[in-house]
Amino acid sequence: MATEKQITANRCNALKSTGPRTEVGKLRSRKNAIRHGLTAETIVSAFENAEDYSDFEEELLAQYSPRSALEHHLVTRLASLFWRLRRATAIEAGLFHIQAQALNESRARSCPEPSTRPLNTVADRSPTNGNNRPSEGDRSELAITFLRIENFNGTIFQKIGYYEDRLWRCAMQTLEIIEASRSKST
C-alpha cells in the first residue's frame, strides 16, 4: 500500500506529464506502439495503398459472390488475411533487398575492381535461359544475405514465419467455413 506522501508525489508528477502538445508531436506519438504492422488492427498500414486493398477485396467478393451476410463477412475476412500474408512476404523480400544493397555498397567500397560483380536480386535477373532458379553464386549470396540479417536480429524470420503460419491456418479455416456454408445452403 502506498503512503500518503507517495500518493501526493505521484499526483504531482502526473500533472507534469501531459503528453505531446503540438500537432506534429501528437501525430508522431500515435504510432509509438507500431513496430512492424504484422498484427495491426487496421488492415491497410500507412505504407500501403487503401485503394489497392479495396480493389483486392472487391475482386474476392466478385469471385465468391457471397449469398448471405455471414458469407460476405467471411470473404472480407479472407481478403484481410491474404492482404496480411502479402505484407509479410513484402517485409521478408524487403529485408533481403535492404541487406543486398548494404552488401553491394560494402563490396564496392572495399573492392572497386570491375571483376567484382554486384549481388544479384531476383528482380534484377532476366530469365534469358528459361531457368528462373538462382545460380550457384546467387544461392551463396542469398545465403550470405540471410546470415547477415539473422546476425542482426536472430528472431526476425522466426517471427515472420510464425505470423505467416497463423495467417494460413486462419485463411484455410475461413475457406472451410465458406465451403460448409455453401454446402448447407444448396
* Three-state DSSP string of 119-153: CCCCCCCCCCCCCCCCCHHHHHHHHHHHHHHHHHC
Q: Does 59 score more than 90 pLDDT?
A: yes
In eight-state DSSP terms, residue 65 is -
pLDDT value of residue 93: 84
Q: Which residue has the higher pLDDT, 122 or 83?
A: 83
**Domain ranges for the chain:** 48-113+137-186
* For range 90-101, the mean pLDDT: 82
pLDDT value of residue 105: 83
The 3-state DSSP class for residue 167 equals helix
Contacts of 70 (CB under 8 A, 6+ apart): 181
Q: Which residue has the higher pLDDT, 58 or 12?
A: 58
C-beta of residue 84 within 8 angstroms of C-beta of residue 90: no
pLDDT value of residue 8: 92
In eight-state DSSP terms, residue 30 is T
Pseudo-torsion of CA 82, 83, 88, 92, nearest 10°?
A: 110
C-beta of residue 76 within 8 angstroms of C-beta of residue 174: no
Q: Cell numbers at residue 69, please? A: 451476410
Q: Which residue has the higher pLDDT, 30 or 3?
A: 3
Q: Residue 91, Cβ neighbours under 10 Å: how many?
A: 16
pLDDT in tens, 117-164: 555 544 444 444 455 665 666 667 767 777 777 777 778 888 888 889
pLDDT in tens, 6-55: 999 888 888 887 777 788 877 776 666 555 555 555 577 777 888 999 99
One-letter amino acid identity for 38? L
pLDDT value of residue 120: 52
C-beta of residue 150 within 8 angstroms of C-beta of residue 157: yes
